[in-house]
Structure 1
Amino acid sequence: MKIYRIDEAARRLDLPVSVLKCLESEGRIRPRETIGDVSYFSQCDLDNLIQELHASLQRASWREMEQRMEEVEQRLEALERRQAERNEAATTRFL
């Protein structure tokens, strides 16, 4: 099993070391071993983190899409209200 020091693991993930340390402190990834203040991660650890990050991104994308849909619905409702008000005003003028 291949083991990577934190700086090499971060490089393999194309992340800054600070991000990997933050993910470690949040408990999203656990080092296989820690010697002194240096963490070591296995390839399996990195693969699991990649899967979790992809899942998090997908959840975030869905949340963002749902928020945008809510905004669109609110705009449509506002447009419908304005159109109804205009129609009512036009009807009132003709009476």
Structure 2
Amino acid sequence: METVRKNITLSRNQAEEIERFTRLNGLSFSEFLRDAAIKEIRRRNDQDLLDYLRENTDFVSDLEQKEIDKLNLDDFKEEDFRELSIDEILRG
């Protein structure tokens, strides 16, 4: 396996916290960061749209909700739509 070396910048507190954790769990610093990064990438890629929106957006104001309610979105049929993946949304 070809390896690539990357430098990262952490605060002293962040580095110490990670070092304590890795020592207690028998992991190397690099191993922990690699595993944590890959796990987060997979979690975000597998996340459905509703969870993504809940995690990354705020609720609308009362005024905005009234405007949305005026659109009568309940009149649309489910077959008129298709589910989008997060990747499709992020790509535009």
> Do Structure 1 and Structure 2 share a fold, with TM-score over 0.5?
no
The TM-score with structure 1 as length reference comes to 0.36
Structure number with the higher helix fraction is 1
Higher Rg of the two aligned structures: 1
Q: Which has the higher contact order (CA 8 A, sep 6+)?
A: 2
The TM-score with structure 2 as length reference comes to 0.37
